[in-house]
Amino acid sequence: MLKKLFGKRDAAGEPSKYTTEDLIVLERWDEAIAVLEARVQSNPNDLHAHLKLAEVYTSAERPQKALERYLFVAESYTDDGFYDKAIALLSKIARLAPGDSTIAGHIRNAQQLKDLEHLRTLALEGLRESQERRRQDSRLSLTESQRLWQALSSTEVVRKLPGEQLRRLFAHSWLLEAETGEVLAERDSRQEVLYLLASGEVEALLDLGDGRPIQLRSFGTGDIFGDRALLEHQPWPATYRACGPSRLFRLDAEGLAEALQGNPDPRQFLDALRSRRHDHDVAAAVRKLVTSSA
């Protein structure tokens, strides 16, 4: 009686003398599939059962069904942040289905997410180092740090800088908050400092003396300005002012020297900071306006 109640059961819930492994060894594919399908239906998050079912589908020469199960597991690994496991499984699938061009896209996606997670880890480490080094009184919470990263994660500077360089940028910068209307740099000043805008908006203004400043351009999240002043020792071409509450990473000459010390690729670091050359565009606009108004 106890054996009947607690013994092995098949997909229909009836007592069975065979385990799933027994059915596989005996190559009774249909029965094994029925048992495993019942298992994943009752517990869709049982990835081991999904993998086993994919293997049985493969042995039963049902490749499309196997591919669907393997992809489900690989996508679950990716969603859960197990990128290496996802990439390894997808590479296996690619060998099983060499004609499926979509698998390469899944691999690229998992690799990109893995790389982005690596960048995130090092960027947050750099932000923590900066706050510790500067002994800032108001430390960012983990949630605030994550929001900053989320805002910057898709910007050009993050795409251009590998993880260690990104850590150096944040570690040796000063995170500051600017109020609406706050002037960050005056035209013709020689303040050697560079800004990376993390949130908010900043505008470059030119006053020709009539009391009505002209907006030359505005800057948004991820934009860098001040590279001309810090890296080329040139005066600021215009006045830069916060249009609203903004957060910026401020890199000065001392911080730049620290970021470059022991840097494995200083040229890569500097090239990323001046890649857009926004200040040169502003300077060109200033020269044109000044010439036309003369």
For residue range 115-155, list pLDDT tens digits in order.
999 999 999 999 989 888 766 555 778 888 899 999 999 89
**Structure confidence by residue, pLDDT tens digits, 153-196:** 989 999 899 999 999 999 999 999 999 999 999 999 999 999 99
- Mark which of 113, 136, 168 sits at the end of a domain: 113
User: Considering the entire predicted model, what is its pTM?
Assistant: 0.77
If pLDDT is split at 50, 70 and 90, which confidence band does 210 have? confident
pLDDT at 97: 84
Residue 237 maps to a domain? yes
- Residue range 222-253, pLDDT digits in tens: 999 999 999 999 999 999 999 999 999 999 99
Q: Does residue 85 share a domain with residue 158? A: no
Output the CA torsion 33→34→39→43 (10° steps).
90
Lowest mean pLDDT, pick from 62-66, 206-210, 220-224 = 206-210
Instruction: Tell me the pLDDT of the chain averaged across its residues.
Output: 90
Q: What is the pLDDT of residue 106?
A: 94
- Contacts of 209-218 with CB under 8 Å at 24 or more apart are 213/239, 214/289, 216/282, 216/285, 216/286, 217/278, 217/281, 217/282, 217/285, 218/243
- Look up residue 15 and give its DSSP letter: B
Choose one of 113, 132, 164: the last residue of a domain: 113
Residue range 25-53: mean pLDDT, rounded: 94
Query: In this structure, are 108 and 201 located in the same domain?
Result: no
How many CB atoms lie under 10 A from the CB of residue 54?
Answer: 24
In a domain, 91, yes or no: yes
User: 78 and 166 in one domain?
Assistant: no
| CATH number of the domain encompassing residue 246 | 2.60.120.10
Section 62-87 average pLDDT: 94
What is d(CA 28, CA 46) in angstroms, rounded to the nearest whole number? 22
Q: Among 57-66, 139-148, 205-214, name the most confident range.
A: 57-66
Same domain, 218 and 176: yes
Task: Kindly report which listed range (11-15, 33-37, 60-64, 89-93) carries the lowest average pLDDT score.
Answer: 11-15
Q: Does 134 fall in a domain?
A: no
- How far apart CA 126 and CA 293 sit, in angstroms, is 46
Q: How many structural domains does the chain have?
A: 2
State the pLDDT confidence band at 114, using cuts at 50, 70 and 90.
very high
229 vs 247: CA distance, rounded Å: 20
Q: What span, in angstroms and rounded, lies between the C-alpha atoms of 75 and 280?
A: 45
Work out the burial of residue 14: count CB atoms within 10 Å of its CB; fewer than 13 is exposed, 13-18 middle, 19 or more buried: exposed
For residue 291, pLDDT beyond 50: yes
- The 8-class DSSP code of residue 155 comes to S
The whole-angstrom separation of Cα 217 and Cα 228 is: 16
66 and 21 share a domain? yes
Which residue segment(s) compose the domain that 170 sits in? 146-293
Please give the Cα distance from 174 to 184 (Å, whole number).
Answer: 14
Q: At what angle do helices 83-96 and 102-134 cross, to 10 degrees?
A: 170
Same domain, 185 and 240: yes
Query: Considering only CA atoms, which of 166, 173, 175, 152 is closest in space to residue 123?
Result: 166
275/286 Cα distance (integer angstroms): 20
Measured distance CA(201)–CA(248) in Å, rounded: 10
- Which helix (H) or strand (E) element contains residue 148? helix 142-152
What CATH number corresponds to the domain at position 78?
1.25.40
Say if residue 150 is in the same domain as residue 104.
no
